[in-house]
Copies of this chain bind each other. A is one copy, B any other.
Amino acid sequence: MTTSRQAASKTPVIAPRFDNLCAFVERLKARSVLASEEQRAVLALPVQIVDVPAKQDFVPLGDETSHCCFIASGLVARVGQVKNGSRQITAFHIPGDMADLHSAVRPVGIGGLTALCDTRILRVSHLAVRLVAQRYPAVAEAFWRDCILDAAILMQWAVNVGRKDGRSRIAHILCEMAIRYGRGTMDDALHEFAFPVVQEQLADAAALTSVHVNRCLRSLRESNIATVRNGIVTIFDWDALVKAGEFDPSYLIADTAPDRQRRLIAE
């Protein structure tokens, strides 16, 4: 949301990577007001680096955990499952996300976490998270708000899966990820970003089969709207994509209007 557009250097898509919690603090600051002491407290949270290979479930469904997972690089999906074996992806988490911040106050898993490509995780213990929240009310509120944003995305996800046809669902997912990856400027330029998923995973997100995802992608390609190839999303016509996905970005927008982030307690 803060990135200005880099000049047209046409560098191939570069995946972001963070090895400390700076990016997490930036994320919180984009949504909440934190004093510098509070920011330092969050930054000081002890982390443990864990590298997860592609296609590995690193938080099993329904398990109880003792740590939150910050995504330093890579891509993670939150998945639910039904008995016949099919999976439903309920969220994608990109670098900069604390994928399961919610587990700090409710450790029993809300869903499993799977790495969709090689992924670096920074683990932060629930205890540490709750302690800093206890000590700094503004941090607690920032954490709370972060979880609410996640829930807002999830609600849109349910609407997307429940009430749109396949093509619209795919378009909506591409729109959402474009915005979240920070390529969501509304100009007519060509947008390109790395989104390392295969069609099978898009299918699990959109509640379709991979065969049908393929046909939906073909339809979007033949309309000259967008393509997904080798984990690279290329958007030719942003407006058409928004229209196809019935996408309204307001649900992604953190609430940062000045009068709303007013602190209730002086810094």
CB closest residue in chain B, given A164 = B82
- How many A residues, CB 8 Å from partner? 56
> A210 vs B15: C-alpha distance in the bound complex, in angstroms?
46
Interface flags for A156-180 (1: CB within 8 Å of B; 0: not) read 1111011110000000000000000
> A152 vs B62: C-alpha distance in the bound complex, in angstroms?
11
A97: min CB distance to chain B, Å: 15
Chain-B contact segment, one of A4-12, A224-232, A249-257: A249-257
> A81 vs B159: C-alpha distance in the bound complex, in angstroms?
7
A149 on interface, CB distance cutoff 8 Å: yes
Chain B residues with CB under 8 Å of A90's CB are 155, 158-159
A246: min CB distance to chain B, Å: 5
Chain B residues with CB under 8 Å of A105's CB are 141, 144-145, 148
CB closest residue in chain B, given A85 = B163
CB closest residue in chain B, given A261 = B108
A154 on interface, CB distance cutoff 8 Å: yes
Contact of A264 among B134, B137, B251, B253 (CB under 8 A): B134
Pair B154/A158 contact, Cβ less than 8 Å: yes
Chain B residues with CB under 8 Å of A246's CB are 82-83
A111 on interface, CB distance cutoff 8 Å: yes
**Interface hits, A115-165 → B, CB 8 Å:** 127, 130-131, 133-135, 137, 140-141, 143-145, 147-152, 154-159, 161-164
> A159 vs B110: C-alpha distance in the bound complex, in angstroms?
12
Interface centre among A80, A155, A265 (most CB of B within 10 A): A155
A219: min CB distance to chain B, Å: 18
Pair B140/A144 contact, Cβ less than 8 Å: yes
Pair A260/B82 contact, Cβ less than 8 Å: no
Chain B residues with CB under 8 Å of A114's CB are none
A53 on interface, CB distance cutoff 8 Å: no
Interface centre among A108, A162, A164, A254 (most CB of B within 10 A): A162
Given contacts A80-B159, A154-B154, A255-B107, contact A140 B148 (CB under 8 A): no
A251: min CB distance to chain B, Å: 7
Pair A151/B102 contact, Cβ less than 8 Å: yes
Q: Name 15 extra pairs, CB < 8 A, besides A147-B148, A162-B162.
A: A80-B158, A80-B163, A88-B159, A105-B145, A106-B148, A106-B149, A106-B152, A107-B255, A107-B258, A108-B250, A108-B255, A133-B141, A150-B151, A154-B154, A161-B161
